[in-house]
Amino acid sequence: MLDAPESRYGLADPKAAAALTGREFLQAIMRGELPAPPMAKTLDFSLVEVGDGTAVFEGEPSEAFLNPMGSVHGGWALTLVDSATGCAGMSLLPPGAAYTTIETKVNFSRPIAMDAGRVRAEARVVSRGRRILSTEARVTDAKGRVLAHGTSTLMVLNEDAA
């Protein structure tokens, strides 16, 4: 059994992480047994669901993320897409394997306003190869309107573990 982390945010012990499948690792973060990454604190979003080849993040836009024109900076939505697609891919990895994003592309469908409510990024794996995973995500507001959508290409690392 994993011990509860001292802080909700931080980096997991590499030995504990290496013993878990990607899905088990992500579930341990959601249960609070492993810390969430510091980026989640900085950008105020969190992993709320994980399945085989799927992941969902949610967050609340805040004044801290506004661009000079008064809407939420596109980088916030892009990071939601990158995080959700990466975790969707990670959910399929065996113990000891890791991944890195090779490329992420996002199309912004509408500005994210401060009154968007809870924003949700739902991702799934589209194609799984031995070393390359292709994923996609949709970012929606509290009313279900598409704010952004995108794709990511991931590379599996530690191939021997996979």
Q: Which domain holds residue 150?
A: 14-157
Question: According to the model, what pLDDT value does residue 2 have?
Answer: 56
Q: Report the CATH number at residue 35.
A: 3.10.129.10
Task: Tell me the pTM.
Answer: 0.92
Question: Is residue 144 a part of any domain in this protein?
Answer: yes
Mean pLDDT of the chain: 93
Q: CB within 8 A of 43, min separation 6: which ones?
A: 59, 65, 76, 79
Question: Is residue 18 a part of any domain in this protein?
Answer: yes
Distance of CA 41 to CAs 3, 50, 60, 144, 159, Å? 21, 19, 12, 24, 30
Residue 23: name the closest of 56, 57, 53 by CA. Answer: 53
Q: Does residue 50 carry a pLDDT above 90?
A: yes
Question: Is residue 92 a part of any domain in this protein?
Answer: yes
Q: Does residue 1 carry a pLDDT above 90?
A: no
Question: Is residue 2 a part of any domain in this protein?
Answer: no
Question: Is residue 7 a part of any domain in this protein?
Answer: no
Residue 10: name the closest of 139, 23, 162, 33 by CA. Answer: 33
- Residue 159's pLDDT band (cuts 50, 70, 90): low
Question: Is residue 9 a part of any domain in this protein?
Answer: no
Question: Is residue 146 a part of any domain in this protein?
Answer: yes
Positive or negative, the Cα torsion across 15, 91, 155, 129?
positive
Q: Does residue 24 carry a pLDDT above 70?
A: yes
The tokens for 67 are 């661009």
Q: How open is the CA angle 89-95-97, to the nearest 5 degrees? A: 55
Domains identified in the chain, total number: 1
Distance CA 82, CA 79 (A): 5
Three-state SS for 21-90 is CHHHHHHHHHHCCCCECHHHHHHCEEEEEEECCEEEEEECCCHHHECCCCCECHHHHHHHHHHHHHHHHH
